[in-house]
Structure 1
Amino acid sequence: MSEKIDQAINGNFLTKLKIYGAMSGPGWIQAAVTLGGGSLIGALYLGVIGGYEFMWLQPLAMLCGIIMLSAISYVTLSTGERPFRTVQKKVSPTLAWGWLIATVVADTVFCAAQFALGRGALEQNLGVPDTVPYLITGTFFVISLSLLWLMVGGGKAGKVVDNLLKVLVAIIVLAFMGVVITLTLKGAVNWSYILKGLIPDFSALFQPTKSIGAAISATGPAADYWSQYVTDNQRNIIITAFGTAVGINMTFLLPYTLRRKGWGKKHRELSRFDLMLGLFVPFILGTSFLVISSAASFHAKYQDVLSEDGQVKEQSADIYYNIVDAKLGSANPDFATLSDAEKQTARESLPLAEKKLAAMLVKRDAGALAKSLEPFLGKYAQLIFGIGILAMAISTMLVHMMMNGYAISEAFNKVDSKLVFMAGAAMPAIAGFFSPFLWSGASKAALAVPASVIATTLLPIAYLAFLLLMNSKAALGEELPKKRALVNVLMIISAGAATFASIWNLVNKGPAGMYGLVGLAVLATIGIYGFVKNNKLAS
């Protein structure tokens, strides 16, 4: 292996691609977890509200995330130490434990969402009866934990999970690529607009996209309200993307997958290449194909939500009425106190142009997208999307369990214990098994809001810890990176974007978000103080 690494380091791009491509692995695991339900929902709504004009957003956001993941891999491979211990000793024990706890919370809660996503794919797209939810989640539970048991066993069996994750990521990309190819052949995709949409355009922070803008103009006196409503939504999407492309648990996972591969200092270039090949490329392909499919099907279109005479279709009624009610409430502060009959009368009285615009802005799910593509794909629409989404769910739930196994093993300082790892992996699996109850109604909100606040608060803190470590003589010694000024500029931009996005999200989460903001400030202060103190002691 050492000879191959030397050959790759001294070789040209094609040599690196051949050698590093065969050795890649941790990046694919990162792709498996980020190509989950959150990416699906985000990509679908990007297509709905922005069309092809937001094609640039996810690549740029992920690039910022990869810059920080590259810093994490550099510290891990340079020190040869488990990063939790490095942060604990060189920055702050408080930050280290906060990082670990946030990872456990995020894994346990959001794994339930992936079980629900997988169950939805089977029931809505693949024809499995919806009368056996716990049989479905129980099957996911058994299969996932069995695969992880094989993985921690090592040897050839241990490679099964790595290869399976690569296959699942490939299925996700190929399923959605097949949809885009079919749409292109049917003349439903405008590639000149797509290529133009890859150029970053931050004007969407301040004004609606062109197609939606035309529909807004048609609303006449109400145009100011709708323009502000759409712009606010676009702004939230853009800012949030920079804080969610990489999750807090992904930052914790990466070092342990690097260590499991046995990589060291000589593998630092390989690690960066692996993140681009295994994470960036599949993520961008998968999400871009989803955005294109969604834009071609839904952008500036209302027919799947609203009939020509303004009657809403039952499957979209709740989301549509939420949008309409917000508009009516802006004009009538007492709207919320009206009876159901009075509310319905007010909704019906809304001008048709506003009804159509509200219908254009309705968030669609994967089932709606599959149905909209039936004229192009026929009976295979539900099958193709069902397979793609099922692969998303299985790969992501598997990695959530893996991440939690590493976190619990680290918490008890038993990183070589198979039983401790499996106990940690079982925590998200148990939450997933009960997802028919946990991930629905009030239970879902009760879990998702605090988990989201914790994860959103700790992501900038994790970035701060590794930004400090990349400048720590005490931690890296002679391995401080070359061209450190450039490295710092890139990290500060990336960490700054994620921090701004986190603050933006916390501000909009009510009282829980305010606690998160206070926690963010306190933890940042503790981290900087601990870093300065530890580096003074080392010098």
Structure 2
Amino acid sequence: MAEQEAAKITDTNQAEAEVAELQRLNSLPFASSAMGYIKRTGPGLLQSAMTLGAGSAAASVIAGASFGYKLLWVQPVAMFLGVMMLGALSNVVLTTGERPYKSFGREIGKWLVVLWALGTIMSSIIWHFPQYGLAASAARDLGAMQGIVSVPPDVTAANAVLEEAQKTNDESQINAASDQLSLAKKETSALGLGFTDSGLLLSFGIGLLILCVNIVTTFNYGGDSRGVRLYEWFLRGCIALIVIMFGIVVLAKIDVVAADIGEIFKGFIGWYGIPNLWNTDGTMNNSTVTQVLGMLGAAVGINMTFLYPYSLLKKGWGKDHKKLARWDLGMTMFLPFVLVTSLVIIAMKVGGVYDGADVVNTTIKPLGAAKALGGVLGENAGRVIFDLGLIGMTCGAISTHMVVCGFTFCEMFGLKQTKTRFRLFALVPAIGILGVVSSLPIWFPVAASAVCFTMLPIAYFAFLIMNNKRSYIGDAVGSGWTRVAFNIILVIALAVATIGSGIKIYGNVIKKLLPEKEATAAAVEADTKPLPIE
């Protein structure tokens, strides 16, 4: 009993000391306070790691391979809008200190928070599969460079035929090529999955390695404050690895980057807007618009919106941490995301993947980009580094998917979060390891897309309402022109998320449920299913 009382007194003293230090930092200029803030960041890291996964990799590869530097502005704008919405959410949570599942259910409606949690769980499990799929593809590519045959030649040839057929959008050609690929897998590969024995070994080897690493780190997060710090340093390591790997690829062509610095700057400020917006007949180029709006609306996922407030509470943050929370979102969520996605886009241009056509290339995958960058640092070196960067991206995303499930299940079931419960629920998405060799049945990603992309704008709308509900958060709603400006940004973010979600639902749900009325989906979004066999 005495030990418990002593622990409470120690925690209270530490909390008071931290608040005093934050008040001191808040009074200092940015440069003087930066290091103090860096030491205390954390929740933004989880968001950054979650969004820097297979989906971001594919979107950045497609953007760079299709338009060079011209879409460099899209990802910063998309993440800025997402950060602003999470900023509104942090204002609500840090003002009240309440767990959002309970408070939002009371203030807005229980049906909303149930769907919010359901969408979070579905997205974290379903989109776990493509993370492992991308990591396994990168591992098999590394093996191929060592002469390890992962895919039978007949399957590789059939894959190439299918990719060419998909470019035509001819349903009969695509179906015939798909049948040819299925037959090749069945007749020439281990277990009919499209891989040799060595391919299966590499796939499950990297999958098990990543799973084991993430179990250890995620279980740390479910423990005490020391475990949380260890987990956050793990995420810092993942993000640093990603930045270093893609940065090396770009720096290897520093002469090209220096020569193109003007074009890179134009790309960041949106000089070219949406390139190739109009067709020669005067009609709008739907594929280009869809690519841009889809990127704008999908930088933040529904599971990120659930994870963020609980990661704030897990850190013990409150009203005095509001400035730190804003700093955290900017420096550990916005900055790493923009840096990594920009490096990938720039790599596509300086590495020669971009052909200057300014036409959306939905058939290129991150693995194809890695192969194309093989000679950037000498024979295959660029390819190795790019593959390692891809594996780093998936590792962080897999970890955060596990963390968010640990939180969400406890909230949905009304259970007090204990170390054991958190760890058990965190293991639920681990089924995604099967993504190293297999795609999901079509209805899984369709159902996930329908729920998750529908819920994102609804969740954004809820955050907008709660951040302006004076009866709940009082004067924290803000005042004057800053409140007006902030709300205008939130409305823009809501509109963009709604349009982006509509595009995703159209491509991932409607086109798949009504194939007879739509062209066969040649461009399947990378964040809804594993990448095909390389």
TM-score of the aligned structures, taking structure 2 as reference length: 0.77
CA separation of 1:76/1:301 partners in 2, compared to 1, >3 Å: closer, same or farther? same
Is 2:241 the counterpart of 1:171? yes
Structure 1 match to 2:110? 93
Alpha-carbon distance, 1:511 to partner:
4.1
- In structure 2, the gaps of 5 or more residues are 1-17, 149-197, 515-534
Residue range with higher mean Cα deviation, 117-126 or 78-87:
117-126
CA distance in 1, matches of 2:27, 2:358: 57
Alpha-carbon distance, 1:298 to partner:
4.6
Alpha-carbon distance, 1:363 to partner:
3.2
CA separation of 1:244/1:452 partners in 2, compared to 1, >3 Å: closer, same or farther? same
Alpha-carbon distance, 1:18 to partner:
1.9
Is 2:212 the counterpart of 1:142? yes
Structure 2 match to 1:308? none
Is 2:82 the counterpart of 1:65? yes
CA separation of 1:412/1:18 partners in 2, compared to 1, >3 Å: closer, same or farther? same
Is 2:469 the counterpart of 1:452? no
Letter in 1 for 2:492: I
Structure 2 match to 1:184? 254
CA distance in 1, matches of 2:218, 2:330: 25
CA separation of 1:201/1:299 partners in 2, compared to 1, >3 Å: closer, same or farther? farther
Deviating beyond 6 angstroms after TM superposition, the runs of 4 or more aligned structure 1 residues are 357-360, 512-515
Alpha-carbon distance, 1:189 to partner:
5.9
CA separation of 1:456/1:504 partners in 2, compared to 1, >3 Å: closer, same or farther? same
Is 2:66 the counterpart of 1:49? yes
SS at match of 1:467: helix
Is the contact between residue 50 and residue 299 of structure 1 (CA under 8 Å) also seen in structure 2? Answer: no
SS at match of 1:137: helix
CA distance in 1, matches of 2:270, 2:324: 29
SS at match of 1:130: helix
Structure 2 match to 1:397? 398
Alpha-carbon distance, 1:479 to partner:
2.8
Cα deviation, 1:94-124, whole Å, max 9, x if unaligned, reads: 1111100000000010011111111122111
Structure 2 match to 1:363? 363
Is 2:333 the counterpart of 1:279? yes
Residue correspondence of structure 1 range 454-493 to structure 2 within 5 A: 454-483=451-480, 484-493=483-492
SS at match of 1:389: helix
Residue correspondence of structure 1 range 11-50 to structure 2 within 5 A: 11-50=28-67
Is the contact between residue 277 and residue 289 of structure 2 (CA under 8 Å) also seen in structure 1? Answer: no
- In structure 1, the gaps of 5 or more residues are 209-222, 303-356, 516-539
Residue correspondence of structure 1 range 128-527 to structure 2 within 5 A: 129-132=198-201, 133-185=203-255, 190-201=260-271, 203-204=273-274, 207=277, 224=280, 231-298=285-352, 301=355, 361=361, 363-378=363-378, 379-430=380-431, 432-436=432-436, 439-440=438-439, 443-483=440-480, 484-509=483-508, 511=510
CA separation of 1:154/1:187 partners in 2, compared to 1, >3 Å: closer, same or farther? closer
Cα deviation, 1:446-481, whole Å, max 9, x if unaligned, reads: 322221221110000110111110111232134322
CA separation of 1:100/1:37 partners in 2, compared to 1, >3 Å: closer, same or farther? same
Is the contact between residue 152 and residue 418 of structure 1 (CA under 8 Å) also seen in structure 2? Answer: yes
SS at match of 2:253: helix
Is the contact between residue 44 and residue 329 of structure 2 (CA under 8 Å) also seen in structure 1? Answer: yes
**Alignment identity in percent?**
28
Is the contact between residue 118 and residue 390 of structure 1 (CA under 8 Å) also seen in structure 2? Answer: yes
Higher helix proportion (structure 1 or 2):
1
Is the contact between residue 460 and residue 502 of structure 1 (CA under 8 Å) also seen in structure 2? Answer: yes
Is the contact between residue 171 and residue 388 of structure 1 (CA under 8 Å) also seen in structure 2? Answer: yes
CA distance in 2, matches of 1:232, 1:478: 44
Alpha-carbon distance, 1:365 to partner:
2.4
CA distance in 1, matches of 2:310, 2:361: 42
Is the contact between residue 133 and residue 435 of structure 2 (CA under 8 Å) also seen in structure 1? Answer: yes
CA distance in 1, matches of 2:366, 2:231: 27
Is the contact between residue 186 and residue 376 of structure 1 (CA under 8 Å) also seen in structure 2? Answer: no
Letter in 2 for 1:500: I
SS at match of 1:375: coil
Cα deviation, 1:364-402, whole Å, max 9, x if unaligned, reads: 223332332233211322221122111111111000110
For the aligned residue pairs, the C-alpha RMSD in angstroms reads 2.5
Structure 2 match to 1:120? 137
CA separation of 1:264/1:15 partners in 2, compared to 1, >3 Å: closer, same or farther? same
